[in-house]
Amino acid sequence: GCVLVVSVIEQLAQWHNSTVKAAMERLCNYIPGKYQIIRHMLCCIDRKMNADVVCHSLKLCKQDPGQPLCHLYAPPEVSWFSTFSKTTDCGRSFKLELNSKSFTGFSSICAFPLLANLCEKIKYVLRNKLPFEDFDGDKFSTFPTLRGYHWRGRDCNDKNTTVYPGRRPDNWDVKSDSNCNGIWGVDPKDGIPYEEKFCKGADSQGVVLLGDSAGAHFHIPPEWMTVTQMSAKSFANLPMAFTDELDWPQFSEITGFLNSTIGGWTDSLYLRLRRRNRCNHRDLQNISQNGFLARNQLLDNPAIVIYATIGNDVCNGNRDTLAHMTTPKEMVSNVVQALRYLDSHLPNGSHVILTGLVDGRFLWDNLHDRYHPLGQLNRDVTYSQIYSFLDCLQVSPCSGWLTPNETLRNLTSERALQLSNVLKEIARSEKFANFDIFYMDFPLRQTAEEWHKMGGEPWQLIEPVDGFHPSQIAAALGTRITWQKALQEWPQVLGKENPFNDQIEAIFKDQGGH
């Protein structure tokens, strides 16, 4: 974090031909709220030390005994020790100032009055993976972030636990909208409830993602660290991004429902199911990075569940990464246990699609020698350097693939293929009472081919800041490929087209928002 902030300040000064102080003020004016802790870095940056030296001097970065000294930029021409010694006074004054304010460093950022309340909310969400604002406790919310309706369909009555997206209509919703799809009341021409007329026998169903950070659509806007593009507008979405844990499920491949504001376009399984049957409105759940399924086996509609943990079973930040990967035997046990849980919670007539793991060699092959957003101004930071820096800090999202070690990359992909074959066999052999089960490979190759036909480059399918997650373009193209496969091979999964869609839109057009 420190290296990132110092790098941006130094580059802002360079790009605008200003002093470091002016650059820091510029950054503070861009960011909502004044994060005054940045100001304490000023004395060290003025000495024209690179970001690694500044942050080690301030003791915000450290070298543990027996561990390598982690750095993003090239080492100084003189020794690290002599460089640090020149900045001792700066580090000492920074430490004294922090102590005088009862801070202990960046780790205590939640002690800032501006951030304390927000931090408590985020801690609650991270701990429980449930909406922070959910007054009736039905796991659905009227608030967008903090695991609210960006993640699950928007509640239409947060004071009634029996009203939520995805349930079967209560008495055909004659008097009120019990399932939040915007369809309720009685047709005055014939006295038939609109829900009964338009949705009875329509194969209404929701979509649920059980996934990881890729399914949640993790994204850090590149303009946050690309000084040539940076302005106050760049950070307008910062509060929303943080309260969604830097995830953007509202634009994601499975549950996206809003037009993308982070590049590319939004196309999702949910939107296609909604266009196929307008009665499916708001019936979505993105349960990524753990969470709780909200489905009542007796009261709710069936659901299509996408089980897509595409990398976590082989990805970790450990030095001995292979030893920490899921084994095929563990994979069988874990997945079957999850499927049994689903069988006890999903309404009858549901469907489960197991998605294979990705072949992450695509990442290194297409990014390692390209410049990261932090390195584009001076052409001094490649993705290879970013990967090595994160690996040194033991926070790499995937040590097995984000490495110059080709043998290790191949071994990681070999394990990923073994685990995909486990999923394929489970789909072939296991039977469950309340859902049928299917398997599909992660469509990376087809996505790259499709994007190439459109004139795109492979690296554009990867998130530019973390160099690891699928980009917005990859998510939208992946939806198209998945939908085509389902139409060809499992049309029963998607349900039939609702012939009343146009009538529903005409009558309830003002109640179709998300």
Q: Are 245 and 148 in contact (CB under 8 A)?
A: no
CA 197/CA 476 separation, integer angstroms:
33
Distance of CA 192 to the CA centre of its chain: 43
Dump the DSSP string for 176-230.
S-SSSSS--SB-TTT--BHHHHHHTTS---EEEEEE-HHHHTB---GGGT-GGG-
Query: One of 213, 260, 268, 413 is an active-site residue; which one?
Result: 213
CA 251/CA 201 separation, integer angstroms:
30
CA 43/CA 64 separation, integer angstroms:
25
176 is a catalytic site residue:
no
In 3D space, the residue among 355, 384, 511 whose CA is nearest the CA of residue 444 turns out to be 355
Q: How many residues does the chain have?
A: 514
Q: Are 149 and 140 in contact (CB under 8 A)?
A: yes
C-beta neighbour count of 377 within 10 angstroms: 18
Question: Please, where are the H alpha helices in 430-471?
Answer: 444-453
Find where tokens 């969470």 sit. Answer: 291
Find where tokens 């605008």 sit. Answer: 16
CA 514/CA 148 separation, integer angstroms:
12
Find where tokens 């085509």 sit. Answer: 484
Contacts for 89 with CB less than 8 Å, ≥ 6 apart: none
C-beta neighbour count of 54 within 10 angstroms: 29
In 3D space, the residue among 458, 204, 444 whose CA is nearest the CA of residue 308 turns out to be 444
CA 25/CA 399 separation, integer angstroms:
37
CA distances from 462 to 18, 197, 286, 474, 475 (A): 33, 45, 21, 7, 10
Catalytic (active-site) positions: 213
